[in-house]
Amino acid sequence: MDAAKKSKIVVLACLLVPMVIAMISYVSSREANQEQVQEIREMIAARGGTIEQIEVVPPDQSPFDRSGKGNTIYKITYHKNGKTMTAWYRALNQSSIVREAPAWKFD
């Protein structure tokens, strides 16, 4: 194999490997988010509620005193007994080792 062909293969590999890693990270992050949303749905249903909206909020807009980069904070608006209520869920994600344990808060 000549040098020009080898260098093309190396360049192609250097471009493809990071793209494959990025796609794997994206898919696993998306799956983790879907699992967290399912966990939220189950918790609200177990409390007799019906979910209206689930949104991700920054830590400073949540009632949790502490949260790390490895946490995702969800604000859940739901209905129960004709009333609109709010719940908060601090979930774990895999983006950092700086994180707090999962927790729920109900208003």
**Average pLDDT score over the chain:** 88
pLDDT in tens, 44-67: 999 999 999 999 999 999 999 998
The pLDDT, as a whole number, for residue 98 is 78
The pLDDT, as a whole number, for residue 25 is 67
Mean pLDDT for 12-34 is 76
Tokens of 15: 């471009």
CA distance 107 to 105: 7
User: Which pTM does this prediction carry?
Assistant: 0.74
Q: What angle do CA 55, 62, 22 make, to 5 degrees?
A: 50
Res 29 pLDDT > 70 = no
